[in-house]
Amino acid sequence: MTMENGCHDKKHAEFHFVLIHGAGHGAWCWYKLVHLLQNSGHQVTALDLTGAGINTLNPDSITSFEDYDEPLVNSLSQIPSSQKVVLVGHSAGGLSLSHAIHVFGNKIAVAVYVAATMLPSGFCSEEDLQMGVPDLLKVSDFYYGLGPEHPPTSSKIRRESEREILYQLSPPEDAALASLLLRPAPLLAFQGAKFYEESEEFMKVPRVYIKTLQDKLLPLEQQEAMIRQWPPDK
């Protein structure tokens, strides 16, 4: 699913907000922000990455980060150079932001990480994994699409833990809706999120990090560790 909106205000039309969901979520999680931005005259695209939202692929079948991120790459490829892309990612969506900066650095006006995994090269080291991967072993179910003798291919936070871990500050009706829409996250795809080449455009893209102080998925300590390791502009 892709939620888009054009606008007639020339000043606002220069900016194109592209919103990237976190693990297990989809374009649907941005519905309130999409409404606010559209009402302010901005152009907005909220994407379902592969195996997320209403994308029909089974998360267990997604074995590379390139396949998982394909909807974002296709969308950014089609945005004209006259528009300034404001790329916003939440949680694991930060991996997609870093990937996009590597590939489309000349198109992105700013990358906004909202309590997101902010690693310049993805998961290339043990330190990267410690900073960017939430500790969810005790509250998640794991699925073995390649068989029990292989590592898990996807995971999902158990329904009884969703409210406490993900939506403790959300209105109950939003938490109930999200519980119906959440899907397993493709673990193999995330493990393959490694970006090695850093172009001149990559280094020039401004970055903003928004910390969430009561986050139980990506604790503040992990957020601050990533900020220290790759300091954003704001």
What CATH number has the domain bearing residue 38?
3.40.50.1820
Specify the pTM: 0.91
pLDDT digits (tens, 9 = 90+) for 42-74: 999 999 999 999 999 999 999 999 999 999 999
Note whether residue 176 is domain-resident: yes
Note whether residue 234 is domain-resident: no
Are 162 and 175 a contacting pair, CB within 8 Å? Answer: yes
> Could you tell me where the DSSP H helices lie in the chain?
10-13, 31-39, 65-68, 70-78, 93-104, 126-132, 159-165, 172-181, 187-191, 200-204, 220-229
Distance CA 193, CA 105 (A): 17
In DSSP notation, 27-44 reads GGGGHHHHHHHHHTT-EE
Note whether residue 49 is domain-resident: yes
**Locus of tokens 């292989």:** 150
pLDDT digits (tens, 9 = 90+) for 145-161: 999 999 999 999 999 99
State which residues form the domain around 43. 2-229
Q: How many folded domains does the chain comprise?
A: 1
Give the torsion sign (CA, 49, 51, 55, 61).
Answer: positive
Q: How far is CA 217 from the centre of its chain?
A: 14
